[in-house]
Amino acid sequence: MGIANGEPAPNTKMESGVLYVGVDGCKAGWLCFTVDLENFETDFRILPQFADVVIEFKCANVVAVDIPIGLAEYGARACDIEARKRLGKPRSNSV
């Protein structure tokens, strides 16, 4: 069974109780970076929908999602403008 039919793909790491997941949006969906602290393994995968992330990692200890808080309805936020100035090129593009 797999994520396409709403069931989590087999993942023994989820059962170990030491799985941590970092999630960030990307053009293809959601980039998920996993860390298994018991086996000292890392991995990543891209899932198309956020619901897939919830299903796939429902047994993880922590799922940390990078989502901006307090986006302006129009224009850039003052904190983003300042961060871009301080970072300079090319890192300013990451804000």
The more confidently predicted of residues 1 and 24 is 24
Q: How far apart are CA 44 and CA 36, in angstroms?
A: 11
| pLDDT above 70 as % of the chain | 82
Torsion angle in degrees (nearest 10) through CA of 58, 48, 38, 11? 70
Contact call for residues 95 and 53 (beta carbons, < 8 A):
no
Per-residue pLDDT tens over the stretch 53-91: 999 999 999 999 998 777 778 888 888 889 999 998 888
Q: What is the mean pLDDT of residues 29-47?
A: 95
Angle in degrees, CA 25, 6, 11, rounded to 5: 75
